[in-house]
């Protein structure tokens, strides 16, 4: 296909992903199975009704003609619109059935506003890498290459750029002046409060986005240990660190929470960031397929992993040090409930109000970012500090 046709197809794929719940609802009303053909029929009826008849003509390039049930479906969508009044709220707002009750509990009377915000495409945010350049200079460097950007509202290092520029061909990106990182992720990294000279652990580092931010905050002084169970992600983190000029970070693939390296470093870190695996509900506007990729998401299994990671992360913190727990989820089961359980079973830790660390954005005990309120991805963050006077036997 040529570039124009590829763009048409790509745009249709993303539209289907962003409207899949509603498309499936219409197919169910017509007693048709949820198939790609059915999605395309509805998509064409909604977004290109004047070209609809020309799209299903058969032949070499055309889709096969509609049968009776498909034709009735298309006519019903054209006449009634994509979102009729009798459509349930969670269908209208593209919420998987497994998440509807949890979202309603977590977001209360803001659930529809937040889910509406999740339907829109996320902006592209960059973080100025202060090991290379200051934010204003980074914005100017991007502008010289035709990339327009503005300072983000909350993060002092964030740059929100216009459109979707090809970053791989931009010199400022290749030179490590900027990194791709949502403003919410930048703020979660800031919640760690990393300072020069500290020993900091990023326990679930992934491809190293937050580790890069932590190293920059520390001015390459001190130590950052970036760990993950996936070797491919760790290698990607190494590449990014080389480009960014990071010198105080080391990347390590671990086998899990019982890895011998972790056991050897008990009570060894001033800060431990546990950016735990989660349902990803906070990233739905950025990854519209994510809400459907985990049909029947088992929150019981996810929360058990989160508790285990937080417990292990807390065991590595020195007295007076802090463990920071974060997710890209807006569900209380993965956030406030995890913290409440942790504090009940770990009397050597107390909660540090997030508002005391990030007063410009956090308003209470926790950092709670959402698309509707902050125009970021959905993020949760909590800070727990180990008591200075805590005395206990070090386990073998």
Any alpha helices (H) in 132-230, and if so which ranges?
A: 135-144, 171-174, 183-191, 209-217
CB 388: neighbour CB atoms within 10 A?
9
Q: Which of the following is catalytic: 204, 227, 251, 328?
A: 328
Q: Are 107 and 194 spatial neighbours (Cβ–Cβ below 8 Å)? A: no
Q: Are 373 and 366 spatial neighbours (Cβ–Cβ below 8 Å)? A: no
Sign of the dihedral defined by the CA atoms of residues 172, 176, 178, 179, in that order: positive
Place of tokens 């058990």: 304
Q: Is 251 a catalytic residue?
A: no
Nearest-CA neighbor of 77 among 128, 1, 22? 22
Instruction: In whole angstroms, give the CA distance from residue 312 to residue 377.
Output: 27
The token pair at 55 is 């799209």
Instruction: In whole angstroms, give the CA distance from residue 207 to residue 280.
Output: 16
Q: In what side-by-side order are the strands of the sheet with 178-180?
A: 149-151, 158-161, 124-128, 178-180
Active site residues: 328
């Amino acid at each position: 296909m040529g570039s124009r046709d590829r763009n048409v197809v790509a745009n249709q794929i993303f539209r289907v992903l962003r409207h899949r719940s509603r498309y499936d609802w219409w197919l169910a009303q017509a007693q048709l199975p949820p198939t790609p053909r059915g999605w395309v029929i509805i998509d064409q009826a909604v977004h290109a009704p004047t070209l609809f008849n020309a799209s299903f003509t058969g032949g070499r390039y055309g889709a096969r003609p509609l049968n009776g049930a498909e034709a009735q479906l298309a006519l019903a969508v054209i006449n009634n619109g994509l979102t009729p009044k009798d459509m349930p709220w969670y269908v209208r707002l593209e919420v998987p059935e497994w998440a509807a009750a949890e979202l309603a509990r977590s977001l209360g009377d803001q659930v529809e506003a937040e889910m509406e915000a999740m339907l829109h495409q996320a902006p592209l945010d960059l973080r100025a890498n202060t090991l290379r350049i200051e934010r204003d200079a980074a914005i100017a460097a991007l502008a010289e290459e035709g990339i327009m950007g503005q300072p983000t509202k909350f993060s002092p290092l964030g740059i929100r750029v216009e459109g979707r520029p090809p970053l791989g061909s931009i010199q400022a990106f290749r030179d490590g002046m900027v990194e791709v990182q949502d403003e919410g992720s930048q703020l979660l990294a800031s919640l760690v409060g990393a300072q020069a000279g500290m020993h900091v652990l990023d326990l679930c580092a992934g491809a190293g986005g937050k580790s890069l931010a932590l190293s920059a905050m520390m001015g390459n002084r001190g130590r950052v240990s970036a760990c993950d169970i996936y070797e491919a992600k760790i290698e990607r983190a190494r590449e990014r660190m080389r480009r960014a000029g990071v010198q105080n970070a080391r990347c390590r693939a671990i086998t899990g929470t019982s890895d011998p390296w972790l056991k050897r470093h008990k009570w060894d870190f001033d800060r431990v960031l546990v950016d735990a695996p989660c349902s990803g509900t906070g990233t739905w506007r950025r990854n519209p397929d994510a809400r459907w990729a985990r049909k029947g998401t088992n929150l019981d299994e996810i929360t058990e992993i989160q508790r285990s990671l937080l417990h292990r992360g807390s065991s590595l913190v020195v007295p007076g040090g802090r463990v920071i727990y974060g997710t890209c989820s807006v569900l209380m089961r993965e956030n406030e409930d995890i913290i409440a359980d942790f504090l009940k079973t770990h009397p050597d830790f107390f909660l540090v109000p997030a508002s005391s660390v990030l007063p410009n954005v956090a308003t209470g005990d926790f950092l709670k970012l959402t698309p509707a309120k902050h125009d970021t991805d959905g993020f949760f963050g909590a800070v727990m500090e180990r008591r200075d006077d805590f005395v206990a036997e070090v386990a073998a």
